[in-house]
Structure 1
Amino acid sequence: MSTIAWIALGSVAAWGWLLLGQGFFWRTDQRLPRRADPDRWPSVAVVVPARDEAEVLPLSLPSLLAQDYPGPLEIVLVDDGSEDGTGDVARALAVRYGGPPLTVVSPGPPEPGWTGKLWALRHGIARARARGAAEESRGTACAGGPEYLLLTDADIAHEPDSLRELVAAATANGLDLVSQMARLRTVTPWERLIVPAFVYFFAKLYPFRRVNEPGARTAAAAGGCVLLRTELAARARVPESIRQAVIDDVSLAGVVQRTGGRIWLGLAERVDSVRPYPGLADLWRMVARSAYAQLWHNPVLLAGTVVGLGVVYLAPPAAVCAGLFAGDAAAGLLGAVAWATMTATYVPMLRYYRLSLWQAPLLPFTASLYLCMTVDSAVMHHRGRGAAWKGRTYPRPEVAPER
């Protein structure tokens, strides 16, 4: 066989293993587990880190203010050095829509060794617990402040029963962390092309089924929507123990798991991101800011990733072309088998996003874009720009987080 045929054979083998041996990552049936109303609804504090989010807050914050939750509930929005009036917008929305009490805090710039979001979460959690302690002293709250924390991003909109369902799932199944991957926006052509693949690749790295198995070694969460038991957060020293993490959601799940907590991760049905990524440049920045951090800033892992993406995603269409235009029948057949398998694994994600299934064969092109984004992420890191987000750049952590 020709060289391209041998590479295509390797791609077929890789897809055979991915199809059956990687936790059935391509399935989209991991939704909230069994729910049952508890005898007593625990107290919850919603913590929302927000930096320059005045544009999206009118689309997301009212959904938190409208939560139909039977237990004690408060919202703490952390204005993380915003320059667009984020805090004022939040206060105005609270006055307009009513709902649970909302507090806006401004912690100031993060101290050295902290990423901005985790610095904001630190102060939001501390404020919620301090308020809970004050109410406890008056006999109006449970010991230790809120029993659960809902950590949710400023661009995440929740259906009215979202919190109720999260708490019902956590209490019914003895879970310390329940996280849902919010349904991201897919309005523009670039969003429809790139966003479903983002979730697909994430699920391949962290198969949800493996995360959710009792005693699992795989840990992951989706930072936009995380319900966390406060007692476990204190025991795991969250967020201090992960203060340098750029990929904070995966790090959070890891430290909770290592502390003995039970975690669950799945796709959301009633939790949506309202942040627009209208063009390729917007999506490129979103992916590239953390792609190299996902590889622990390791050039060897980067090289392996580039080769792996080439063999798994790019070799099949190249082999098909070799079969069609160079008469290499073996390469063409093997490439077609690999490409068909790849396409089939992508179909469930497109169905979840309610997108045309004709997009599935384009996955090699989308993967090539992700390959370029990953390389660009490494280049930016070595140029000293690291993981950049809203005017902040985070270098490689001085001490690598536990994996």
Structure 2
Amino acid sequence: MGVIVLGLMLLSLTIWLGLLCFWGQFWRTDQQLEVTETQLESLPVVCAVVPARNEAELLPTTLRSLLLQDYPGSFNVFLVDDRSTDQTANFAEGVAHAVGKPQQLHIISGESLPSGWSGKLWAVEQGIKSASKFAPDYFLLTDADIEHDPGNLRRLVAKAVQEDLDLISVMVRLRCESFWEKLLIPGFVFFFQKLYPFRWVNNPNNPTAAAAGGSILIAREALERIGGIQVIRQALIDDCALAQAVKKSRKDKENTPCPMPNQGRIWLGLSSLTRSLRPYDSLATIWDMVARTAYTQLNYSPLLLLGTLVGMPLIYLVPPMCVIIGAVWGNWAIALTGLLGWLLMSLAYYPTIRFYKCSPWLAFSLPAIAFLYTLMTLDSALRHWQGRGGAWKGRVYPNPDNL
């Protein structure tokens, strides 16, 4: 029995060594928008599109931050009121007048949701259609719960222009105030970076593509080249689907067969200043947020789900269990090997913990966090099989294959 346990621990340790050495340095937090201050070389026309469904409570802060961007170029905001019942449109109009920017805000009354579209993407599509009359060079796709740093747009545009990027996005700082947020939100970011190592995403020669939907700047030409938002209209994980579509597009403006090396380039990083105000102050709210799309992330595959249910315990739970088992059995080879694996995963998690300014001791809680996320993933699959998958803001979205 001891040989089997030691073998499992050595396998787990080998996986961790492989992840740390060869998996795109996913554990680092150095890909940040604010790391270097960039200078504007030109002033492209930018239009922001904000889908809003019952966001009256947050708009006085979030919309205000968007309208007060220090970007010196032409900038207009198109807020799509997605059939809200809390007077979202009235609050938005009031915010614009309060900051003296009524001419900069354009409020669009959302039309009823057609078949085959997710609610958010249908709202984005309507916003883009309305904004197109300004012939923008870039669209800023952002959520109604994001409080933008005053220089966020300026930095996004400067980086996009200087590095010739078709799409640039930042994972904004998620709210991390309550007990459950401090325990689970940094873990959410850690697992996202592990799934999509930012260095791989930012490498044009690597097929890995991802984006964070809270703040995405996309070139109008790139959006037109991939066929518009409608090409991802059924996607529940729409930000990553958009990034994948852009990175795969390798044709030049004339649509010739010869790919252009600078097209399809994307960048994804963290933001330390722009933040989400969406509260996840209970286990239930975080659970629902993850369970909504976790099985979608696995492409609704029972085989991938099985691999997750086996792999997550092997990688995250075996090391601390071996520490306990080894200590009980008096087998110090098992205990010390388990401790080494636990320390490696804690060191990998520590940069994310530090980025979120949480207690360093939380780095050792990754096994418990991974266990909870594994249960959330299983629940996501159960909800899908029961026809409750993809529920969000009063809507339930089925498997796109069944649409």
Give me the TM-score of the superposition, normalised by structure 1. Answer: 0.94
State the Cα distance separating 1:107 from its structure 2 match: 2.3
State the Cα distance separating 1:34 from its structure 2 match: 5.9
Q: Which residue of 2 aligns with 1:242?
A: 232
Cα separation, 1, equivalents of 2:5 and 2:130:
60
Equivalent residues of 1:34, 1:173 under 8 A apart: no
- Quick one: which amino acid aligns to residue 353 of structure 1? Y
State the Cα distance separating 1:37 from its structure 2 match: 3.3
- Quick one: which amino acid aligns to residue 308 of structure 2? T
Q: Which residue of 2 aligns with 1:267?
A: 270
State the Cα distance separating 1:38 from its structure 2 match: 4.0
CA separation of 1:80 and 1:325: change in aligned 2, threshold 3 A = same
- The answer on 1:288 being equivalent to 2:291 is yes
Q: Deviations along 1:53-78, whole A, 9 cap, x unmatched?
A: 11111221110011111111100011
- Quick one: which amino acid aligns to residue 150 of structure 1? L
Cα separation, 1, equivalents of 2:162 and 2:402:
37
State the Cα distance separating 1:337 from its structure 2 match: 1.0
Cα separation, 1, equivalents of 2:93 and 2:140:
19
Residue 359 of structure 2, aligned match among 356, 360, 371: 356
Cα separation, 2, equivalents of 1:305 and 1:50:
34
Cα separation, 1, equivalents of 2:36 and 2:166:
15
Q: Which residue of 1 aligns with 2:244?
A: 254
SS at match of 2:192: helix
State the Cα distance separating 1:35 from its structure 2 match: 5.7
Gaps of 5+ in 1: 133-144
Q: Which residue of 2 aligns with 1:12?
A: 13
Cα separation, 2, equivalents of 1:124 and 1:379:
34
Matches within 5 A, 1:286-325: 286-325=289-328
- The answer on 1:377 being equivalent to 2:369 is no
Cα separation, 2, equivalents of 1:71 and 1:307:
52
Q: Which residue of 1 aligns with 2:128?
A: 125
Cα separation, 1, equivalents of 2:351 and 2:325:
29
Matches within 5 A, 1:133-212: 145-212=135-202
Matches within 5 A, 1:384-403: 384-398=387-401
State the Cα distance separating 1:93 from its structure 2 match: 0.8
Q: Deviations along 1:176-235, whole A, 9 cap, x unmatched?
A: 111000000111010000000000000000000011112221000000000000111011
State the Cα distance separating 1:237 from its structure 2 match: 1.5
Q: Which residue of 2 aligns with 1:97?
A: 99
State the Cα distance separating 1:26 from its structure 2 match: 0.1
- Quick one: which amino acid aligns to residue 30 of structure 2? D
Query: How many residue pairs were aligned?
Result: 387
Q: Which residue of 2 aligns with 1:114?
A: 117
SS at match of 1:387: coil
Equivalent residues of 1:113, 1:243 under 8 A apart: yes
Q: Percent identity?
A: 49
Equivalent residues of 1:78, 1:123 under 8 A apart: yes
Gaps of 5+ in 2: 251-263
SS at match of 2:70: coil
Cα separation, 1, equivalents of 2:361 and 2:116:
46
State the Cα distance separating 1:40 from its structure 2 match: 2.9
Equivalent residues of 1:148, 1:227 under 8 A apart: yes
Residue 43 of structure 1, aligned match among 27, 34, 45: 45
Q: Which residue of 1 aligns with 2:71?
A: 69
Equivalent residues of 1:35, 1:169 under 8 A apart: no
State the Cα distance separating 1:81 from its structure 2 match: 1.6
- Quick one: which amino acid aligns to residue 203 of structure 1? Q
Cα separation, 2, equivalents of 1:38 and 1:165:
8
Equivalent residues of 2:41, 2:161 under 8 A apart: no
